[in-house]
Structure 1
Amino acid sequence: MYLNYFGLSDNPFSIAPNPDYLYMSPRHKEALAHLTFGLRESGGFVMLTGEVGTGKTTVSRKLLQQLPDNTQVAMILNPTLSALELLATICDELGIDYEAAKGSLKYFSDKILKKLADNHQIGVNTVLIIDEAQHLMPEVLEQLRLLTNLETNREKLLKVVLIGQPELQQLLKRNELRQLAQRITARYHLLPLDANEVKLYVGHRLSVANGDVHIFSEGTLRAIHAISGGIPRVINLLCDRALTLAFTKQSATVKKPVFLAAAEQILGADVVAQRLQSQSRAILIGLFVLSIALGYGIGAAYV
């Protein structure tokens, strides 16, 4: 609706996972480096966690692009499965033929272990990626650990990437999962974008759509960070609504009051007020600490 008005060739803030708009912040690049390093190690598991909407899927897609050609990937997007269902799904993903009537934990495990050995024999690496892994049941995670028992003198034949929300970290602290937790060779917790990264993120998405970051005023960009908390998915929702509202008001730029009105439509006035108050409190605390440091420094100069 607002594309022609702002001279945009496409919707820059769609929440659809369009790879053309992929923005790898320094945090995302660091997360990718950790996962890549972990998959090169001899252990069986690597883990990526982060709050909803921080870009875990973005990192996992980039990881897929960077895997060597001699890699077979099994991807599980819905992990709310029993141990038996998980093994059957892994068989499906790896193209393993099986007879459903014979399905048992041992039957599927034997099939998968043979596939891993065959892949290794022909120089193919096998990687299992599980999204939303915080939903895995402990007995399912234990079954995954058992699958990684197959190894050569140098490496595991199955590498597992666990991607999930912070609850996954708590899940792996359970006593019955301590053996699995010890096998995680790399882990990274993806934090939200900081204020400067939010500005770069907004500018990147606008530039891909032939737009300019100056569509948003400096005050608006600061408000985007304060209210979104640096969560990319929330940024997209807020900026899309703000551009729509600015268009209806025939405003050439998105000023802070327009953005705040858009944010209230998306999140509610109480949430917006709370986040702005938190930002103000943080600024006051920062100024207080700075004044103390300056006072100490000045006092020390006279001693």
Structure 2
Amino acid sequence: MYLRHFSLREAPFSITPDSAYFYAHDGAQAALNMLLVALRSGEGFLKIVGEVGCGKTVLCRQLLKTLQGECVTAYIPNPDMGPDDLLMALMQELGIEVSPRAGRRPAKRQAPSRYELLNTLRDCLLQHAQAGRAVVFCIDEAQAIPLATLESLRLLSNLETEKRKLLQLVLLGQPELDVKLSRPEIRQLLQRITFSEYLGPMAAHGVPAYLVHRLATAAVSDATDTQVFEPDAAQLLARLSGGVPGW
């Protein structure tokens, strides 16, 4: 009834992150521009930090969508795992098949060692580099990465040729990520991050256009009325939400 009444295909204000609803307000566009320029310049380690609900996941998906056909991409939405598991997840994202090695007994197979996994990953990355393809690895909710796994990411960033990085990493997380990166035991990782951007709340003046954008994206047709919110109502939403779309 709700959708029919407003001539909508789907709920326009669902909290599910969908790149179709990406709204390029000043902060989001600045963050996306930074990521695209840095990645296209070959930078190895990038970071986006923002509060809960400010649109980091939607930004990440928009980045992956923009890079489609231009780069090989890998995406991990839940990085709360050990170094070996994260490495395996990355390899799975890149379509790398990992075969168990033969054990001492003919019938027994063993998991590959980390050394073997890294060699297999490096071979794959070299093949992409030789074909002129950059490989971008995006990690969402990066504040959840254990310290040991963060250190393993630093080591992954060492994969390079004389001219370029074989793997470019993008971390997206809540402010707790900065707290974690400031710890002295992983200070070397912080030094590797060449570009960083803060994704903050939307400016109040941008909220009315954001509401129209969401309604237009969900509309059945161009004839759907997207001027649903009166100016006073839009400004009240901006004030009560603090400009955070996810609140």
TM-score category of the 2 structures, normalised to the smaller one: 0.7 to 0.9
Does 1 or 2 have the higher relative contact order (CA < 8 Å, sep 6+)?
2
2:140 maps to which residue?
A: 131
Distance across 1 between alignment mates of 2:237 and 2:207? 8
What is the percent sequence identity of the aligned residues?
A: 40
C-alpha distance in structure 1 between counterparts of 2:56 and 2:130, whole Å? 32
1:36-90 CA-partner distances (Å, limit 9, x unpaired): 1221334321111111111112211221122262521111111011111111111
Any conservation in 2 of the 1:43–1:183 contact (CA below 8 Å)?
A: no
Contact kept in structure 2, 1:38 and 1:45, CA below 8 Å: no
| Aligned residues of 1:46 and 1:162 also touching (Cα < 8 A) | yes
The answer to whether 1:22 aligns with 2:31 is no
Correspondent of 2:180 among 171, 174, 199: 171
Does structure 2 retain, via aligned residues, the 8 Å contact 1:37–1:186?
A: no
Mapped contact 2:18–2:61 kept (Cα < 8 A): no
Is the CA contact (8 Å cut-off) linking 1:41 and 1:185 kept in structure 2? no
Matches within 5 A, 1:288-303: none
Counterpart position of 2:203: 194
Question: 1:133 touches 1:162 (CA, 8 Å); kept in 2?
Answer: yes
**How many Å separate the matches in 2 of 1:198 and 1:95?**
41
Q: Report the Cα distance in structure 1 between the residues aligned to 2:194 and 2:187, rounded to whole angstroms.
A: 14
Which residue matches 2:235? 222
2:84 is equivalent to residue 71 of structure 1: no
Gaps of 5+ in 2: 101-109
Cα offsets for 1:204-229 (capped at 9, x unmatched): 2223322333x323322221112111
In 2, distance between residues paired with 1:152 and 1:163? Answer: 26
CA gap 1:140/1:9 in 2 versus in 1, 3 angstroms: closer
What's the offset of the Cα at 1:148? Answer: 1.5
For the 8 Å contact 1:127–1:159, the answer to whether it is kept is yes
CA contact (8 A) 1:42 1:154 kept: no
Q: 2:98 aligns to what SS in structure 1?
A: coil
Q: Tell me which protein shows more helix as a share of its residues.
A: 1
Please say which structure displays the higher CA radius of gyration: 1
* Residue of structure 2 in register with 1:150 after alignment: 159
- TM-score computed with the length of structure 2 as normaliser: 0.86
Cα distance between partner residues in 1 of 2:55 and 2:234: 20
What whole-Å deviation, never above 9, does each CA across 1:85-132 have from its counterpart, x for those lacking one? Answer: 111111111111213423332222222122112221222211111111
Instruction: Quote the Cα distance in structure 2 between the aligned partners of 1:205 and 1:13.
Output: 7
- Runs (4+) of structure 1 exceeding 6 A deviation are none
Which residue pairs with 2:43 in the alignment? 43
1:244 match: none
- Length-normalised TM-score, structure 1: 0.71
Is residue 92 of structure 2 the alignment partner of residue 89 of structure 1? no
Partner SS state of residue 163, structure 1? strand
> Which SS does the other structure have where 2:87 is aligned?
helix
Q: Per the alignment, do residues 118 and 225 of structure 1 end up closer, same or farther by CA in structure 2, a change over 3 Å counting? A: same
Partner of 2:226: 212
Greater mean alpha carbon deviation, residues 32-41 or residues 45-54: 32-41
Pairwise CA RMSD? 1.9
Q: Contact 1:128/1:158 (CA < 8 Å) preserved in 2? A: yes
SS where residue 232 of structure 1 aligns? coil
1:50-61 equivalent positions in 2, closer than 5 A: 50-61=50-61
Indicate conservation of the 8 Å contact 1:44/1:156, yes or no: yes
Is the 8 Å Cα contact of residues 3 and 9 (structure 2) preserved in structure 1?
yes
